[in-house]
Every structure is written in C-alpha cells, then in structure tokens.
Amino acid sequence: MKTFTYRTAAGVADGLEPGATFLGGGTNLVDLMKLGVATPDVLVDVTRLGLDDVAELPGGGLRIGAGVRNSDLAADPRVRGQYPVLSQALLAGASGQLRNMATTAGNLLQRTRCRYFMDATMPCNKHDPGSGCPAVSGDHRNLAILGASPSCIATHPSDMAVALAALDAVVRISGPTGERTVPVTELHRLPGDTPERDTVLEHGELITAVDLPPLEFATRSTYRKVRDRASYAFAVGSVAAALQVTDGTVRDVRLAFGAVAHKPWRASQAEEALRGRPATRESFLAAADAELGAARPLRDNTFKVALIRNLVASVLEGLS
C-alpha cells in the first residue's frame, strides 16, 4: 500500500487538496488501496461531521445523512414502514459487519468489482485510461448489458443505489462552488469514452445527504436480488419495484435494475409501458421487453436479458 497522510475534516466546507480523497467507512476504499488500485496522497476523514441522522422532511419524506451507517438505515422504522424496498436492498448487500461500517454516501460511491479493474497489473480504462477493456473479450459474465461502451462494460455493484433510483431520491452535495442537488439517477455516469469517471462529482465535492421524496405507494415495494450464492455476494441481476394497482390496472409504478449497467438503471420505458395496463404477467413481461430492447449482451452474459425479464414479472406479480 502506498504511504499516505491522514487528517480529519474541519467542516463540510473543508476542501480537498490535490491527491486527496474523502474517507467514510472505508469498506471499499481501503480494499482498493491495499490492491494498489486507489493511491490517494491524503485521506480526509468525514465521519465526525455530524452527517449521521435520518430526519423527516416538512413536506413528507426523509433526509438521510451521508454518514448514516447501512445497518442503522436498514433498521430505521420509518424506512422499513414507508420504503421497504430500501431496507431490503440494504440488507441484501455485504455482511452484517460491513453494513455496520459502510455509510450512505460510501455505498453510493463504491466502485465496480470488475476483476480487471480490481487488478492494478491489468489493463483497464478505469484505472489506466487508454489501456483498453480486456473484459470485452475476456471474463464478462457478470458485466453490463445496458449502456456500456467499447471502452468499459463494468457494472455498478450497489444494491442500495438501485432502490434509491427507483424511489426518485435526490443527492445533496457541498463543494468549493457551493451546494447543489442531483437526482440519484443522474449521479452516476455511463462510461462513454471516459469510464474513469464514475460520477458527476467534481474534485472536492462531498455528498452530505440523500433526500427521499414522499411516495405513498412505496409502502408496497420490494427488492429482489439474484446472486451466485445465498449471502455476501454481489448481484448477477436485481430489481427494485414499487407498484400501485387499482381495480386490476396499473395506476403507477417505479422500477430500477441492478448489475446490468455502469449505473443503477431506472427502467423508465418499462414504467411508461405499464401505466394504465392490466396488472398481469403478460403486461409485466411486455414492459420488461420494452426496456430490454436496448440491451447489448456479450458472449457470456446473454442470460441476463432473460433473467431480468423474468425477475421483473415475478417481482411485480408479487406486489399486485
């Protein structure tokens, strides 16, 4: 591991010097440092900034501090009651020990677990721009089928972020130029020609909170994750969904997919195809087809198209 300097942040407005990185729970960053993939000169600890509360918003909804631990957020009665999809997604991720350390912001900002990215000795456009993407012709079984590019086919590994995307969550950011908000669906980037940039955050910008807007029918929501083993494994595919059905007709719906793209994938086309349609398996499959029409699977991950298609139908049938 490269030698680095450690300091604590003096406040939310405390900026980052060149070569510095914010440190929260460290459950992903420290691993990457041990592997030589992340090589910060300075770690700036932000865990003492008081960003660890879950508060109710005046107009409804919740504000989740960036430093709230994943285990605390999953257990919060308001989250479990109003947004069960979020609690379930959090509990589906990692292990109990890791959830006790991992923070809301850190979960959002975790990096891909693509084997080529995780190996500093391998070519990878994410840690060595211009070196190529060996995953395209190599090991890509669990990589992207949507939104990828010849430069990168990595997937975003977070379960929590998929639920937040489905719930129209908004990220609150503080930085050198002031404060701004970004929808979770726009926080992460598709790879394009610059896959080294995972998000739209600029250097020195700090996530301070995530706002969950009120969504009445989110009480009927769920998260379903398919993985290679029963626990402590990243998703092969996942679906976050909330569904409102009246007299057998879909009145409203929220859908997002995980482990299929460089970002949590909000299934807007599927949602549009479902509103006003009968709440039947046939409608659910047709909506999934509308979203997955843009899928471009590779040699070894074609199965993900059928997996997500059937997962969407199963999840929505369960909520109907």
Please state the rounded mean pLDDT for residues 109-137.
97
Q: Which amino acid is at 11?
A: G
CATH number of the domain that residue 295 is part of: 3.30.390.50
Is residue 92 domain-resident?
Answer: no
d(CA 193, CA 262): 13
d(CA 99, CA 139): 28
Judge whether 24 and 107 are in contact, CB under 8 Å. no
Q: What is the Cβ-side half-sphere exposure of residue 236, based on CA atoms within 13 angstroms? A: 17
Segments in the chain forming alpha helices (H): 29-35, 70-75, 77-82, 84-92, 96-101, 104-108, 160-166, 184-187, 268-274, 281-292, 303-319
Please tell me the predicted confidence (pLDDT) of residue 280: 98
Question: Tokens 């926080």 correspond to what residue?
Answer: 187
Question: What's the number of domains the chain is made of?
Answer: 2
In percent, the amount of the chain with pLDDT more than 90 equals 98
Residue 46: CB partners within 8 Å, gap ≥ 6? 9, 22, 23, 24, 66, 67, 206
What percent of the residues of the chain are helix, what percent strand, and what percent coil, each to the nearest 5?
30, 25, 45
Residue 97: CB partners within 8 Å, gap ≥ 6? none
Average pLDDT of the chain is 97
Please state the rounded mean pLDDT for residues 188-206.
97
Is residue 267 domain-resident?
Answer: yes
Q: How far apart are the first and last CA of the chain?
A: 51
Judge whether 197 and 111 are in contact, CB under 8 Å. no
73-108 tens-digit pLDDT: 999 999 999 999 999 999 999 999 999 999 999 999
Query: Per-residue pLDDT for 310 more than 90?
Result: yes
Please tell me the predicted confidence (pLDDT) of residue 231: 85
Q: Which amino acid is at 44?
A: V
Residue range of the domain that includes 315: 222-319
Q: Which H or E run contains 262?
A: none
Is residue 31 domain-resident?
Answer: yes
Is residue 84 domain-resident?
Answer: no
d(CA 191, CA 155): 10
pLDDT band at 205 (very low <50, low <70, confident <90, very high): very high
Judge whether 21 and 46 are in contact, CB under 8 Å. no
Please tell me the predicted confidence (pLDDT) of residue 15: 81
